[in-house]
Amino acid sequence: MLGAIEAGGTKIICAIADENNVTEIIDEEIIETGDPTRNVEAIIQFFTAHPVQAIGVGSFGPIDVDRHSETYGYITNTPKSGWKNFDFLGALKKLAVPIYWTTDVNAAAFGEMAYGAARQTKNSVYLTVGTGVGGGVILNNEILPGKKHLEIGHISIARRSGDSFEGVCPYHDDCLEGLVSGPAIYKRTGIKGTEIGPEDAVWDTVAYYLAESCVNYALSFAPEVIVLGGGVMHQKQLFPFIRNYYLQVMNEYMSVADLESFIVHSELNNRAGIIGGLALAKKVLGGE
């Protein structure tokens, strides 16, 4: 049996699945994110009742993913009460099983590669556009390594002519997240994204910036597919606009055989993180 933990800012999901049927979750529990010590107790209780051979953890961040660091496995600089400098991985070691430790978005990227929209590829980018914007990069079927996890949702991109929206990113104002996240859309329109009609001009703006970002990801990672997920991407009308603006911004500099299968919607949707966690548990169990 395999286990996964998807630790988010509001809820923590624990789940189990058989290693021969990773996408079929057999049992799961949702824990409200609160005091980390009590949260970990609940997690350990779940996996004591449902023993597993390995666990994949996708955690909210920022987290320390450098195996050679003294604070490897810690949540680092979060504003979330009690979690700052919390040794999350260390606390989970009580379970005495191998654990794959990464970010929530890296787990989701891995899930889409293993069982979702990027499953035919070795190299992919996954971006989730919701309350925040974040993503993971897969290269040769591995999460892009490095001493720190990536933050591709915060890249700087060119402003569209005529758009003077100030942005909502608390760090960078008008980085990608600052321009297209759910809160950005709300601040642009005064209406929640789910209540904005599909013809509203704001979607055209959002599509433009996402296209610019896809161009930057294509130039930076040469992926075979870019998978877009998260709440904002439920607006399916965005996709043809993103693809059109992608062509316009890229201007034939790097060609793509089939744009429809290059910029695609998430297939695992809000299960990407937890299924990715299970896939990572399988990977760690296989000694890969």
Residues forming the site for a copy of itself (CB under 8 A): 123, 137, 139-140, 144-152, 154-159, 171-172, 174, 212, 215-216, 219-224, 249-254
CB of 171 to a copy of itself, least distance (A): 4
Residue 149 and residue 135 in contact, taking contact as beta carbons nearer than 8 Å: no
CA pair distance 165, 203, nearest whole angstrom: 14
Closer of 55 and 157 to a copy of itself (Cβ): 157
CB of 222 to a copy of itself, least distance (A): 4
Q: Please report, in angstroms and rounded to a whole number, the separation of the first and last CA atoms in the chain.
A: 17
Residue 13 and residue 5 in contact, taking contact as beta carbons nearer than 8 Å: yes
CB of 286 to a copy of itself, least distance (A): 20
CB of 147 to a copy of itself, least distance (A): 6
Closer of 215 and 284 to a copy of itself (Cβ): 215
Closer of 172 and 234 to a copy of itself (Cβ): 172
Reference 279, options 151, 148, 143, 107; nearest CA is 107
CB of 70 to a copy of itself, least distance (A): 13
CB of 74 to a copy of itself, least distance (A): 14
Residue 205 and residue 188 in contact, taking contact as beta carbons nearer than 8 Å: yes
Closer of 39 and 128 to a copy of itself (Cβ): 128
Closer of 39 and 205 to a copy of itself (Cβ): 205
Residue 82 and residue 35 in contact, taking contact as beta carbons nearer than 8 Å: yes
Say if residue 253 is exposed, middle or buried (CB neighbours under 10 Å; 0-12, 13-18, 19+).
exposed
Reference 28, options 6, 56, 58, 54; nearest CA is 6
Closer of 199 and 252 to a copy of itself (Cβ): 252
Query: Running DSSP on this structure, what letter comes out for residue 175?
Result: S
